[in-house]
Structure 1
Amino acid sequence: MKILIVEDEPKTGDYLSQGLREAGFVVDLARDGLDGLHLAQSVTYDLIVLDVMLPGMDGWGILQMIRRSGRDLPILFLTARDEIDDRVRGLELGADDYLVKPFAFSELLARIRSLLRRGKAREPEVFRAADLELDLLKRRVIRAGERIDLTAKEFALLELLIRRQGEVLPRSLIASQVWDMNFDSDTNVIDVSVRRLRAKVDGPFPHKLIRTVRGMGYVLEPGNDP
């Protein structure tokens, strides 16, 4: 599970990052609103912990931008503002929970786990694009009725592409999401992996789903012509 923390207070941000990592989560930390919004829009997270009072852009604005983009991931507001009007405003804008500072880490962790369980209930188990089907629980890929055997990395790569089908994904995003590493322009691991995935998913079939967008990245689009 990958969590984004947007928190400008250094001690609080470091404390949350360390605690959540020790609890088994992968954590990114943004220390201002604009960096938080950029990460929220460019990286796939399972949950966001969001402060309200932030430099650059406040939490209200970040929440609105995330919801307008159609993303339905859980968002927990963590803030020193404890007025009822603030809580109501956050929930009306699309926050899933609201925790007031100071807080007990055990309560924060319990709320995060509860939100993630709810998010799992909403998440589809099977993703489809044209005649391609990816089953998360069975770890199975089928196209036109034929089973396709993929390695763990190929499955993760296809899952990212099919989850965000129609969206051009830059190599840097693919590197961080599938390999959990920063993209090195001298490394061709991503291009090689995409080529191998296409050979299995597209090679035997007349309609190609995965294509290269020159200078930008890769996209999975149902119904592309060969």
Structure 2
Amino acid sequence: MTTQTSSPTIILIPGHWLGAWAWEDVLGHLRTEHAGAVAITLPGLDGDDPDRATRTLDDQADAILDAITRLEASGDQPTTIVAHSGANAPVSLVLDRHPELVHRVVWVDSGPVADGSVFAPDIPEAVTELPLPPFDVLAQQASLEGLSTAVLERFRARAVPEPAPVLRQPVELTNDARRTVRTTLVCCSIPSAQVLELAKAGHSMFAEVANLERLDVIDLPTGHWPMWSRPRDLAEVIRSEVARTD
């Protein structure tokens, strides 16, 4: 499932349990600004795919690269990737394999992962997928600030369980050039000063941030899903970052 405009330059990738639909509000604002964009649903998160529970991180990375190819990205005309939350693992793989095709990566309450990272290494082999947990449980892991009851109901109704192979597959990274790609951290549920402090301290979730060579940080205070709580503001941040050449 893909939502697109006639001249896309941006690929928006949602995090766990989400499809392209999660970016609808942001896309509406981006189009108002005449910026081309596509939002994609990663393999394993299409509820109509009968084999979705078997999809892997490699499948997801390949799907992102396929989208870049469709945009005819090249070293002279690279694409901007906007990645939310759990999209960080497949996007890190893409940056490792083809950094020359990415003009900038905008991490939305997210960031690059380190070599060897595994999202959920302790998931039993018998488990095939991870459904969206109850919101009281989810709120202990990620901020729900700014989400109305209607938004939460839509989230629950449209969420697709995350394939277990995606969650237990180690991320293998070998190309240091991934760290030279222009990078913007959009910090929402954790202030940028704290993120940078944690990165400097070697915190496992943020350690790779300390290795980035061209890094910008932007604070957009809200919960973990700013595409719903502050879609207009997030679209403006994306538009501004896409336009930058430094």
Q: Give the TM bin, normalised by the shorter chain.
A: 0.3 to 0.5
TM-score, with structure 2 as normaliser: 0.37
**CA radius of gyration, larger in:** 1
- Higher RCO, Cα 8 Å, sep 6+: 2
Q: Which has the higher strand share?
A: 1
TM-score, with structure 1 as normaliser: 0.40
